[in-house]
Structure 1
Amino acid sequence: MNLRKHYLAGCLSIALAAPGGAFAQEQGQSLESAANDPTASITAYQFSDIYTPSYHNSTADGNTLQFRMAYPFRLGDLNNIFRITVPYISDSPSGASGLSDITIFNLATFDRSWGRFGVGAVALLPTGASGLSTEKWGLGPAAGFVAQQPWGSLGLFNQNIFTVAGKSSFPDVNISIIQPILNASLDNGWSIGTSEMTITYDWDRNEFISLPLGVAVKKLHRFDKTPVQFSLSYEHNFYDKSVAPKDTLNFTVKLLVPR
């Protein structure tokens, strides 16, 4: 088993998690609901501190600082959401630190009476420092939906990365990620739901390499006219066959810029 590949695949799963953050006033969607909806069109700047106090098959801990930007735009008659995620690993089981691989994502979204769905593509860029990069270029399809409910929202996202180029001495990255989305709106800007929960399947190994289960609590607060969402989540990963995150805490601050 390539332990390095599985560790980096775990980092990639975190980077590929679909973010909440959409706002469509024309549909009457509230900002509180939209902040947890990854299919709509709001500009969002997200800063996360992802701490892993324990790993399977390792006594080390780890930490990742992550910046993510989501930017909506129109291309012809289509609404699109472009997203870039830049992870910086400040601590890892190997002791290495530095920039990890960047992922970019574009989703064309389509409004429906029940909510919204989208189709698009995701790409992996081998920008990471030595020991923190897959050294592979990856590309694949992405699709998902979010259905609005009186109590909140539910949905599902799927993203796929398949190696298209890179250093032949490094193992390919051929993974699929399924992310369930469930959020319940509470009073005064509070909400509760699933954590990022990026369930990851490795096509080379023919097995799941990430099986997380977690919960997130979020609070939307307005500083004057600027909405900011704070979130704290806990996640446990049941995959334990390699050096993989066991327990993860994620604190995120997201600045929202409604159109």
Structure 2
Amino acid sequence: MNPSVKQARAGLTLVALIGLAITTGPASAQDSADELAKKLSNPVASLISIPLQYNADFGYGSEDGTRHTLNIQPVIPASISEDWNLISRIIVPVIYQDDIAGKSGSQFGLGDINPTFFFSPKQPTKGGITWGVGPVFLLPTASDDLLGPDQWGAGPSVLVLTETHGWTIGVLANHIWSVAGSSNDPDISNTFLQPFFAKHLPGGRTLTFNAESTYDWENQQWTVPINVTYSKVTRVGSQMMSFAGGVRGYADAPTGGPDWGLRFVVTFLVPPK
């Protein structure tokens, strides 16, 4: 695809998503910091959130390359019936990377956008299980060939979690197959598996452990980053926000993959009125 066309498409999509995010308005005062922290650990909660998630990964390949990624990832629930919600989760990556594949130079721009839509019951099951299911997509919006393949992708996604004794425990999984795209780029068949454990502490604080694992079926390779993050919900003026920071190590990665990384997140919270 012509690079200028890819950049234009990526830019228009990014502008539209940022516009949606900044029009959500300030948070309601009715939710306490502890309640908001619990909802933030639940990907299908009735809570509009706009995380700005910065990731830095170090130690790529022979040149000790680095990748910096800012994920803009609004989560927007909508009531579609008396009993069901539709939760839209969109990940928009903005990437700067340098020598991640030997002496490959630096690239900066938009990566591939990854929207997921969960249909989820408004009330947990009698056993206290919250779940959601729906489609996941991969949009080839990368502004550079080294920031993402020119492939359209789609597949199923599922989420199951429970809240017990101050913990939120669950798993998010999806699988994406190539459905269209350039014949010059390799096909995609990736399984994503993210178990997560969040311990809620007084004062809107949360300690979270997760493994954002991906299995590449085409290359028969796992990538398994294990993240440990600490977050705090607080009020800044009239806006409720969450601030988080943490580290990750890689239990498994492709040859030449990263060794370790950092994560910092600022999240704007908009509880329903």
- How many residues align? The count is 232
| TM-score of the aligned structures, taking structure 2 as reference length | 0.79
Do structure 1's residue 137 and structure 2's residue 152 form an aligned pair?
Answer: yes
The code of the aligned residue for 2:196 comes to I
Give the Cα–Cα distance (whole angstroms) in 2 for the partners of residues 241 and 105 of structure 1: 26
CA-based RMSD: 2.0
Q: Secondary structure at the match of 1:34?
A: helix
Q: 1:231 to 1:69 in 2, by over 3 A?
A: same
The residue correspondences of 1:194-233 to structure 2 (distance < 5 A) are: 194-195=209-210, 197-208=211-222, 210-233=223-246
Q: Secondary structure at the match of 2:65?
A: coil
Residue 41 of structure 1 and its aligned partner are, at CA, apart by: 1.9
Q: Secondary structure at the match of 2:254?
A: coil
Match of 2:52 in 1: 47
- 4+ residue segments displaced more than 6 Å: none
Pick one of 183, 187, 193 that aligns with 2:198: 183
Give the Cα–Cα distance (whole angstroms) in 2 for the partners of residues 179 and 122 of structure 1: 15
Which runs of no fewer than 5 residues in structure 2 stay unpaired?
A: 1-29
Residue 58 of structure 1 and its aligned partner are, at CA, apart by: 4.1
Give the Cα–Cα distance (whole angstroms) in 2 for the partners of residues 138 and 154 of structure 1: 28
Pick one of 61, 64, 88 that aligns with 2:94: 88
CA contact (8 A) 2:53 2:264 kept: yes
Match of 1:7 in 2: none
Give the Cα–Cα distance (whole angstroms) in 2 for the partners of residues 146 and 225 of structure 1: 31
Which runs of no fewer than 5 residues in structure 1 stay unpaired?
A: 1-24
Give the Cα–Cα distance (whole angstroms) in 1 for the partners of residues 112 and 196 of structure 2: 25
Match of 1:4 in 2: none
Give the Cα–Cα distance (whole angstroms) in 2 for the partners of residues 179 and 137 of structure 1: 22
> Which has the higher Rg, Structure 1 or Structure 2?
2
Give the Cα–Cα distance (whole angstroms) in 2 for the partners of residues 215 and 48 of structure 1: 14
The residue correspondences of 1:1-259 to structure 2 (distance < 5 A) are: 30-77=35-82, 78-92=84-98, 93=100, 94=104, 95-110=106-121, 111-112=123-124, 113=126, 114-131=128-145, 132-195=147-210, 197-208=211-222, 210-259=223-272
Give the Cα–Cα distance (whole angstroms) in 2 for the partners of residues 174 and 235 of structure 1: 25
Residue 159 of structure 1 and its aligned partner are, at CA, apart by: 1.1
Deviations 1:204-236 (A, max 9, x none): 12332x122221111111224421011112111
CA contact (8 A) 1:57 1:243 kept: yes
Give the Cα–Cα distance (whole angstroms) in 2 for the partners of residues 205 and 91 of structure 1: 22
Residue 65 of structure 1 and its aligned partner are, at CA, apart by: 1.6
Q: 1:115 to 1:244 in 2, by over 3 A?
A: same
| TM-score of the aligned structures, taking structure 1 as reference length | 0.83
Give the Cα–Cα distance (whole angstroms) in 2 for the partners of residues 48 and 31 of structure 1: 18
Same amino acid, percent of matched pairs? 27
Give the Cα–Cα distance (whole angstroms) in 1 for the partners of residues 158 and 251 of structure 2: 25
Q: 1:189 to 1:135 in 2, by over 3 A?
A: same
Match of 2:16 in 1: none
Residue 194 of structure 1 and its aligned partner are, at CA, apart by: 0.8
CA contact (8 A) 1:107 1:119 kept: yes
Q: Secondary structure at the match of 1:90?
A: strand
The code of the aligned residue for 1:175 comes to N
